[in-house]
Structure 1
Amino acid sequence: MKWLELLLVAGVTLVSAVTVVVLYSLGVRLTAIAGDVQQKSPALFKSLAYVCFGICGLAVLFGIYLIVPYFGK
């Protein structure tokens, strides 16, 4: 068995999972900040939150693309 390749896959999986969770958490936090009435420009925070959610969605779709053999043809 090729242990280095196994460690590489495990490392990439860990980094990508942490990245998706951090982006989603950042999107939730920015949505909460945008809902605060004290802020001067909630539209900026809300648009950044949507960007974070969009990147998370793209990462999930790319993961599905990699897993499902039909899409890899």
Structure 2
Amino acid sequence: MKWLDLVQVAGATLVAALVLVVLYSLGVRLTAIAGDARRKSPAMVRSVAYLCFAACGIAVLFGIYLIVPYFTK
């Protein structure tokens, strides 16, 4: 068995999961901050939150693209 390959896959999985969790939580937090009535520019904060959600969705779709063999033919 190639142990280095196993470690690389485990590391990539850990990094990808961490990036997805951080992007999603940052999007949720920024959405909550944008809902605060005292903010001066809630539209900018909300747009950054939506960018975080979009990046999270793109990362998920890329992961599905890598996993499903039909797409990589």
Range of TM-score over shorter length: over 0.9
- TM-score, with normalisation over the residues of structure 1? 0.98
Equivalence for 2:35: 35
Cα distance between partner residues in 2 of 1:12 and 1:40: 39
- CA offset digits 1:27-59 (Å, max 9, x no partner): 000000000000000001100000000000000
Query: Which structure features the higher share of helix residues?
Result: 1
Counting aligned pairs with the same residue, the percent is 73
Equivalence for 1:48: 48
Is 1:15 the counterpart of 2:6? The answer is: no
Equivalence for 1:24: 24
Cα distance between partner residues in 2 of 1:19 and 1:59: 9
Give 1:69 deviation, angstroms: 0.6
Counterpart residue type for residue 7 of structure 1: V
- How many residue pairs end up in the alignment? 73
- TM-score, with normalisation over the residues of structure 2? 0.98
